[in-house]
Amino acid sequence: MESYLQSLDDGWSIYLWLVVGGLIIIAVIYWIRWGMKNEQFDEDIKYLVFDEDDKDKMSPQEYAKSREVAATQLQSRERVLRHQEEEKKRDK
C-alpha cells in the first residue's frame, strides 16, 4: 500500500482531504437537520429544572414561563409517545 501511495503523482492528497471534508460537512448538516426535527435546539429547556417548589426563588414572569415550558414539553412528550405507540401497532 505504501509503494502505491508513493507512486501517485504529487498533489493527490488534497483530493482525499476535499472528499473527507465534504463528507464531514454532509454529516454535520444531516445531524443539525435531525436535531431540528427532533426538537433538540430548545433554548427554554433551562426552565424544565424548576418545579412548583421553586416559585419563591423566581420572579412571577420566570415562574409563569417555567410552567408554560413544562406544559409544552409534556404535550410534546405525549405526542411522541403516541406516535411511537402507533408505529408499534403498525409494525405488528
CA distance 6 to 81: 56
**21-80 tens-digit pLDDT:** 999 999 999 999 999 888 788 778 777 787 788 888 888 898 888 889 889 888 988 998
Cα angle value 40/42/43 (rounded, 5°): 140
Sign, CA dihedral 29-35-37-43, equals negative
| pTM exceeding 0.75 | no
Q: How far is CA 83 from the centre of its chain?
A: 18
3-class secondary-structure state, position 8? coil
Q: Are 50 and 71 in contact (CB under 8 A)?
A: no
